[in-house]
Structure 1
Amino acid sequence: MSIIEFLQVPIFQRALFAAILAGGTMSLLGIVIVVFNMTTIRFALMHFGLLGGAIGLALGANPLTAAIAAIAIGSLLFGPLSDKLKLDTGLIGAFFMTGSIALAFLLFYKAGVPALDVFSLFTGSILTLSRNDLLFITVLGTVVVLTFVILYKEIQLIFYDSEQAEWLGVPAKRIRNGLLFLTGLSIGVAMKIVGALLIDALILLSAMAAMRLAKNFKQLILLTSLFGMVTTTGGLLLSMVLDLPTGATITLTGVLILLFSTFIQK
């Protein structure tokens, strides 16, 4: 089938819409992960999602819905706990990461969850999105964009110097925790689109590529959004034309963009 023929299929239409929207908006939260050095938090949220999926499978509920709910809860906890305990978010994340993965596999074992069901948590597919999934992605993407537009100056100042931002009266901790919550929800969406193992393709790679080329914060946002859309839509179209796995093709497209930006920078 040609691309034109694919565009006439409702499933592919939904997938393409989700690819454009998720790639252009949720990739912006990769900037948050890189600037705030939340690599450990990212892994912790992924493992929290795995625990949520395990609970869902054990109870006979939708595992991906349970995973997204668990990630949302985790993203709400990490920031305030870090502030209250005066510990780095990375340390908080490491604690939850190890605990949640252990509990997840314990649940898998005790509930007798089939290996194929467990594997489904790691391999999402953008082609299986429902109308409700699209609605959720649309709302979340809109909130992400509005957050960056309305709080543009505040976010820019926090990224460059959070202590000075606090001194100037900017609620840096609340904004940071809000961005962390949005990042958690985006990780949940990424699990649905590309699977838990390939989340970085949607969230992180575009921001990393943009940071190599952007000369200011505005360029960073625009390039990240552009690279995110090219990664998801380009990967989706290539996977359809070449008959390749969608998640893996999207990921490799993101890797190629990152390599290209590194080459251009040099």
Structure 2
Amino acid sequence: MTDFATTVKPWSPDRWLTDIAPNPALRGFRRFCVEFLFFGLKEARACLFAGLFFIAIFAVPHAGLAGIPRYDLLLIIALAIQFAMIRFGLETMDEFKAICLFHVVGFALEAFKTSGAIQSWAYPDFAYTKLLGVPLFAGFMYAAVGSYIIQAWRILDVRIIHHPPYWMATLVALAIYLNFFTHHYIGDYRWYIAALAIGLYARATVIFRPYDRDRKMPMLLAFVLIGFFIWLAENISTFFSVWQYPDQLGAWSTVHIGKWSSWTLVIIMTFTIVAFLKHIRATIDVPR
């Protein structure tokens, strides 16, 4: 069976992280340290695209470089990172196709949220590559989240036990996405949807391999932790004025803690898309 997020090709540069021989002699505190180190290395590798793109946000001056506006330069850098990852075998074409879906989903949300009638946030700087008021690099921010989940799934050899029925998970993910649009008109139902998600994933457990043994974590805890780190990254991004919320126009302030819940819901939605694509691919690859 071939899987777009689990197969590691023989020439893959990730083999030093994924093909680790069992080491039964490693015990106690020394095992903890080694496993913690490799977990950090695997997480860093899974965040490669997001990390490099985040560094670019720091490095690119607000005024741009060589006459190229900042947003346009960020798009060029994001495309270069994406091309390099495919070129050097750090990302497969199937993974790239999946990530493109996150571009589309993210851009549609950005275009709506920054529209004149809504204006939840804004991209104040000029750019040649703006479409509907949204710089095209913005889609890469959502793609970075999808890239992390796809890469982590493969590198950490992720498996899910007690995964809810895919049709139910898909409906919850669709409700999460639609609520980002509809709450401007018919009320915010995120907490009702979050309650559904909690019930749906209450028994779900993620199995992962930081070194040579399987470890496990409640799926809901994984969602919350990832959402928290994205919220921290959002605070840094708004501090550097990559985008701004209305209450940050006069002076920067911390992004409201409520955004943590929004990002956690985005993670649930993103995870569901990845899991659904994996499920479809596995179904296609089952011998008839």
TM range (shorter): under 0.3
TM-score in terms of structure 1 length:
0.28
Greater strand content? 2
* Structure whose alpha-carbon radius of gyration is higher: 2
TM-score in terms of structure 2 length:
0.26
Select the structure with the greater relative contact order (CA < 8 A; seq sep ≥ 6). Answer: 1
